[in-house]
């Protein structure tokens, strides 16, 4: 065996080899019927574990008997965060009918494009999404029914009310779940990647991947909190991180307080009001928790655990959050839609600043030199490649599917990283984002970390600007802190004080009002590059 491959044994042996629908249903059924699974803070709507079980069974029954959905038919779910997404998702899992999770913020153009990708027979959507869906529905002839989550007075719209489909199935008694024999190949759902480096791709997540995920979320070393803990959940459910928090909730019997939009005061108020113990966040939310003076006016002492995922958590932000919440660690999770489960996680006992943690059970990782394809050893940076029960591939995209895996079945993450002697992993940057200055590869993240130390810099993003002589020059887009005067030369000199010559801002500074980011807070560097 290649000694440069680092693996941790899986802990899946106790989990039956069954469809995730069955596994999840059995699990949900073990919790108190009246225990709250989802509480939607804005509307006050509650969904108990009992509701979730019966509503999902009724919906699955009706999808099968009234709408003719059979194994491998596709569904689409497009809504702002709501428990109904999970009622529909569970029904899809019971029927082995993969559901495509789509961003409710999509324009009609994007909606059409991604619906055409998966060709769902039934689309579940919210009222806001319906308006856009009606525009493209005629062109999407594969759609046989639209199920509307919200109540609608106007009955002319040719939609089926969700509330009709969660009643009068057969109360679950005669429902037979679809068998899934080939867990590795049966697609459970389709999630779009974030589209940070190109167009979002439709990732086919398998039942085997969800089973591995289950072994993670019930592992108390990885998630050392009580079952039935109270968790505040504001990450979009359509994103792999938001979706992952939901299964963690359902497998562990958590009470998920759902917000469909981040609003600073309401976020803090909800922590205080509901004595939230666990937060799942993204780094932009960490920045808010680190810096906002609003935090001083709320009692946030109930918070014991914070998990951050989806993008790089800056070391300075990390330290500030630890201090403000007076907790031992903010645990990082590194992953990608293609891999579907946490790859690295900060261990409970041995937190190292700047590291995203150690490999989770059931995964193998190697660091590969992108130029030669060779596996590298300790403290050498290269592309992070991961092997486990990953995705089956990208939907309708054999070309990208082929290049996503290497010859040994490892997924190429496109991220550069390294590990130390104790196998703690560090993310350097994305391969595509490295700035090529002369013969050097400069990670924008390193420059951004420095920029944020400047008291006049509120936010920053660095990209490479093409240059005939040097290849690329680093340009910083900077948002000034309100009321603080800061000039370009000052920023350039500040970076030069800390970093060696190749990592300096040779392309200068542009002051902007805002750094463009997507729904989970990732910097949209391609938009910034277009500005140059």
Q: Please count the other Cβ atoms lying within 10 Å of the Cβ belonging to residue 242.
A: 23
The C-alpha atoms of residue 234 and residue 494 are separated, in whole angstroms, by 36
Is the CB of 23 or the CB of 101 nearer to ligand ATP?
101
Within residues 390-449, the interface with ligand ATP by CB under 6 A covers 413-415, 427, 430
Can residue 213 be called a binding residue for ligand ATP (CB under 6 A)? no
Question: Of the candidates 119, 145, 122, 177, which has an alpha carbon nearest to the alpha carbon of residue 396?
Answer: 119
Q: Which is nearer to ligand ATP, 309 or 475 (CB)?
A: 309
Beta bridge partners of 75: 99, 122
> Binding marks (x or -) toward Mg ion, 187..226, rule CB under 5 A?
------x---------------------------------
Residue 118 host element (H or E): helix 108-118
| 139 DSSP assignment | G
19 binds, among ligand ATP, Mg ion, none (CB under 5 to 8 A by kind): none
Residue 227: C-alpha distances to residues 52, 171, 282, 401, 469 (Å): 17, 27, 23, 37, 59
Q: Considering only CA atoms, which of 143, 124, 44 is closest in space to residue 86?
A: 124
Residue selected from 39, 106, 175, 334 as contacting ligand ATP according to rule CB under 6 A: 334
Residue 346 as a binder of ligand ATP (CB under 6 A): the answer is: no
Is 216 an interacting residue with respect to ligand ATP (CB under 6 A)?
A: no
Helix (H), strand (E) at residue 180:
none
Q: In this structure, what token pair is assigned to residue 416?
A: 């550069």
Sign of the alpha-carbon dihedral angle for 501, 502, 504, 506: positive
Least distance between Mg ion and beta carbon 212 (Å): 19
Rounded CA separation 451/447 (Å)? 6
Query: Which residue among 200, 236, 244, 464 contacts ligand ATP (CB under 6 A)?
Result: 200
What does 311 interact with, of ligand ATP, Mg ion, none (CB < 5 to 8 A by kind)? ligand ATP
Torsion of CA 104, 280, 446, 323, to 10 degrees: 140
Whichever of 159 and 359 has its CB closer to ligand ATP, that residue is 359
Alpha helices in 347-410 (DSSP H): 398-404
Shortest approach of Mg ion to residue 414 CB, angstroms? 6
Does residue 455 bind ligand ATP (CB under 6 A)? no
Helix/strand/coil for 436: strand
Residue 236 interacts with which of Mg ion, ligand ATP, none, CB < 5 to 8 Å by class: none
| Choices 194-202, 271-279, 483-491, 524-532 (CB under 6 A): range interacting with ligand ATP | 194-202
Q: Provide long-range contacts, Cβ within 8 A and 24+ apart, for 118-122.
A: 118/74, 118/76, 118/190, 118/202, 118/395, 119/74, 120/73, 120/74, 120/75, 120/76, 121/67, 121/69, 121/73, 121/74, 121/75, 121/145, 122/63, 122/67, 122/69, 122/73, 122/75, 122/76, 122/146, 122/147
Q: For residues 246 and 233, give the distance between their C-alpha atoms in angstroms, rounded to a whole number.
A: 9
315 is a site residue for ligand ATP (CB under 6 A): no
From candidates 198, 264, 409, 466, binder to ligand ATP by CB under 6 A? 198
334: partner contacted, choices Mg ion, ligand ATP, none (Cβ within 5-8 A by kind): ligand ATP
Q: 7 or 197, CB closer to ligand ATP?
A: 197
**How many residues in the shown chain lie near ligand ATP by CB under 6 A?**
26
Q: How far is CA 519 from the centre of its chain?
A: 10
Size of the site for Mg ion (CB under 5 A): 1
Select from 59-67, 185-193, 227-235, 403-411 the region that touches Mg ion (CB under 5 A): 185-193
Rounded Cα distance, 166 and 51, in Å: 10
Q: In whole angstroms, how close is the CB of 247 to ligand ATP at the nearest point?
A: 16
Contacting ligand ATP (CB under 6 A), which of 95, 232, 309, 475?
309
Alpha carbon 485 to its chain's center: 36
Q: What residue 77 binds from ligand ATP, Mg ion, none (CB within 5 to 8 A, per partner kind)?
A: none
Kindly state whether residue 193 participates in binding ligand ATP, applying the rule CB under 6 A.
yes
Q: Is 40 in the site for ligand ATP (CB under 6 A)?
A: no
**Minimum CB–partner distance for residue 436 and Mg ion (Å):** 20
Report d(CA 242, CA 384) in Å as an integer. Answer: 23
Is position 336 an interface residue for ligand ATP (rule: CB under 6 A)? yes
- Choosing from 335, 340, 393, 521, the residue that interacts with ligand ATP (CB under 6 A) is 335
Q: Which of 190, 258, 311, 505 binds ligand ATP (CB under 6 A)?
A: 311
Q: Is 236 in the site for ligand ATP (CB under 6 A)?
A: no
Residues making contact with Mg ion (CB under 5 A): 193
Residues making contact with ligand ATP (CB under 6 A): 193-198, 200-201, 240, 309-312, 332-337, 356, 413-415, 427, 430, 522
């Amino acid at each position: 065996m290649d000694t440069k491959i680092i693996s941790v044994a899986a802990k899946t042996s106790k989990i039956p080899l069954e469809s995730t629908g069955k596994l999840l249903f059995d699990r949900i059924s073990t919790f108190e019927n009246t225990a709250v699974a989802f509480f939607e803070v804005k509307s006050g709507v509650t969904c108990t574990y009992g509701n979730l079980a019966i509503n999902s069974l009724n919906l699955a029954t009706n999808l099968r008997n009234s709408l003719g959905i059979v194994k491998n038919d596709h569904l689409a779910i497009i809504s702002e965060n709501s428990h109904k997404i999970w009622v529909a998702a569970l029904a899809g899992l019971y029927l082995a009918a993969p559901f495509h999770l789509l961003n409710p913020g999509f324009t009609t153009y994007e909606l059409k494009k991604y619906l055409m990708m998966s060709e769902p027979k039934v689309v579940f959507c919210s009222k806001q999404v319906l308006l856009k869906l009606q525009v493209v529905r005629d062109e999407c002839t594969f759609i046989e029914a639209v199920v509307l989550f919200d109540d609608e007075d106007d009955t002319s719209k040719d939609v089926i009310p969700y509330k009709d489909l969660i009643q009068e199935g057969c109360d679950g008694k005669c429902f037979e779940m679809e068998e899934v024999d080939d867990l590795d190949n049966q697609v459970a759902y389709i999630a779009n990647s974030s589209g940070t480096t190109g167009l979002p791709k439709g990732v086919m997540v398998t039942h085997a991947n969800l089973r591995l995920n289950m072994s993670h979320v019930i592992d108390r070393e990885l998630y050392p909190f009580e079952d039935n803990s109270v968790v505040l959940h504001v990450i979009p459910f359509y994103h792999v991180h938001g979706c992952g928090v939901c299964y963690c909730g359902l497998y562990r019997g958590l009470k998920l307080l759902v917000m469909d939009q981040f609003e600073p005061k309401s976020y803090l108020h909800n922590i205080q009001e509901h004595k939230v113990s666990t937060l799942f966040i993204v780094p932009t939310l960490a920045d808010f928790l680190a810096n906002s003076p609003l935090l001083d006016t709320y009692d946030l002492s109930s918070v014991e655990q914070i998990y951050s995922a989806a993008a790089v958590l800056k070391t300075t932000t990390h330290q500030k959050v630890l201090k403000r919440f007076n907790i031992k660690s903010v645990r990082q999770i590194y992953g990608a839609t293609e891999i579907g489960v946490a790859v690295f996680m900060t261990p409970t006992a041995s937190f190292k600043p700047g590291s995203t943690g150690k490999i989770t059970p059931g995964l193998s990782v190697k660091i590969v030199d992108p130029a030669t394809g060779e596996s590298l050893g300790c403290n050498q940076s290269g592309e992070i490649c991961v092997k486990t029960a990953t995705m089956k591939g990208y939907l309708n995209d054999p070309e990208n599917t082929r290049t996503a895996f290497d010859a040994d079945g490892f997924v190429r993450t496109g991220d550069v990283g390294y590990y130390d002697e104790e196998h703690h992993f560090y993310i350097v940057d994305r391969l595509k984002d490295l700035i090529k200055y002369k013969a050097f590869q400069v990670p924008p993240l390193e420059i951004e970390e420095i920029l944020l130390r400047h008291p006049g810099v509120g936010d920053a993003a660095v990209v490479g600007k093409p240059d005939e002589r040097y290849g690329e020059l680093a340009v910083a887009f900077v948002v000034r802190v309100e009321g603080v005067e800061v000039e370009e030369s000052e920023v350039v000199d500040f970076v030069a004080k800390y970093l060696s010559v190749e990592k300096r801002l040779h392309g200068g500074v542009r002051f902007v009002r805002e750094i463009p980011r997507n729904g989970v807070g990732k910097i949209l560097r391609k938009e910034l590059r277009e500005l140059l």
